[in-house]
């Protein structure tokens, strides 16, 4: 049995859980909820020296991280649907979309961490605006041409869905005001991938 260290509120963990759902691998993985906020969680730090979730424990000597690598590993365990095209332009398209969506997610998480881990007198508006600008530029870019899929969404699409879901959960869905195409895109994604709803974080 594989063991996934994650947390129900983690958007990166949600990527992995959506992958499990899409690949029909749910019964192969035990999901263990861990808390990374204290920074000294021995279980996660020994699995991933970076102290970050998700981490997938494969056996006594092997832990896989980060979310990208876990999803690609899980993709290799079952044939369909293919989440990572094996080669060629389709592969690069998927990976670049995932990088953009992960970058939006990273900036959104840093904005949350600024307030969670720094005292208010040390919040830095210029730095916050810099992170927000990354989110806004990323979303504006995607709004012009939301990424279509063929037979089924792939890893790039599920990463974007996780990022938009996190903006809904932690940033009050403010992205929705200026991105109607992405709203429709996310609705279509949720219909195509039931694991999106099933993994929605609850505060
Ligand atoms: N690039 C990593 C990011 C993982 C990440 O930042 N996870 C957060 C929780 S959502 C975390 O563990 N943060 C703890 C920390 O940064 O100390 C991935 O894709 O898995």
Query: What confidence tier does 39 reach under pLDDT thresholds 50, 70, 90?
Result: confident
> Which pLDDT belongs to residue 203?
80
Query: Could you tell me if 18 and 192 are in contact, meaning their C-beta atoms sit under 8 angstroms apart?
Result: no
At 57-69, the pLDDT tens digits run 999 999 999 999 9
At 141-196, the pLDDT tens digits run 999 999 999 999 999 999 999 999 999 999 999 999 999 999 999 999 999 999 99
Q: 31 by DSSP, 3-state: which?
A: strand
* Structure tokens belonging to residue 89: 């332009």
> Which pLDDT belongs to residue 199?
98
Place of tokens 């906020």: 37
User: What does the pLDDT average to over 122-146?
Assistant: 98
Q: Is the bond preceding residue 116 a cis peptide, omega within 30 degrees?
A: no
Regarding pTM above 0.75, the answer is yes
Phi first, then psi: what are they for 65, rounded to 5°? -155, 165
58 CA distance to ligand 1 middle (Å): 19
Instruction: Please tell me if the CB atom of residue 154 comes closer than 6 angstroms to any atom of ligand 1.
Output: no
Instruction: Please tell me if the CB atom of residue 176 comes closer than 6 angstroms to any atom of ligand 1.
Output: no
Distance CA 55, CA 63 (A): 6
Instruction: Please tell me if the CB atom of residue 155 comes closer than 6 angstroms to any atom of ligand 1.
Output: no
**% residues pLDDT > 90 (the chain):** 99
46 CA distance to ligand 1 middle (Å): 15
Structural domains of the chain, with CATH: 2-75 (3.40.30.10), 88-196 (1.20.1050.10)
């Amino acid at each position: 049995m594989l063991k996934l260290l994650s947390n129900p509120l983690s958007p990166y963990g949600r990527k992995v859980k959506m992958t499990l759902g899409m690949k029909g691998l749910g019964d192969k993985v035990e999901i263990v909820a861990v808390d990374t906020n204290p920074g000294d969680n021995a279980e996660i730090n020994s699995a991933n020296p970076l102290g970050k979730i998700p981490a997938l424990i494969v056996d006594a000597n092997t832990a896989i991280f980060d979310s990208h690598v876990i999803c690609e590993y899980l993709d290799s365990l079952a044939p369909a649907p293919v989440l990572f095209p094996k080669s060629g332009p389709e592969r690069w398209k998927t990976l670049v979309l995932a990088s953009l969506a992960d970058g939006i997610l990273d900036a959104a998480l840093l904005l949350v961490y600024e307030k969670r881990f720094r005292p208010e007198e040390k919040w830095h508006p210029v730095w916050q605006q810099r992170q927000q600008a990354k989110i806004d530029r990323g979303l504006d870019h995607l709004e012009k041409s939301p990424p279509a899929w063929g037979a089924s969404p792939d890893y790039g699409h599920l990463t974007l869905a996780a990022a938009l879901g996190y903006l809904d959960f932690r940033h009050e869905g403010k992205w929705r005001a200026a991105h109607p195409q992405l709203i429709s895109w996310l609705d279509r994604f949720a219909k195509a991938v039931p694991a999106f709803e099933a993994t929605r974080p609850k505060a």
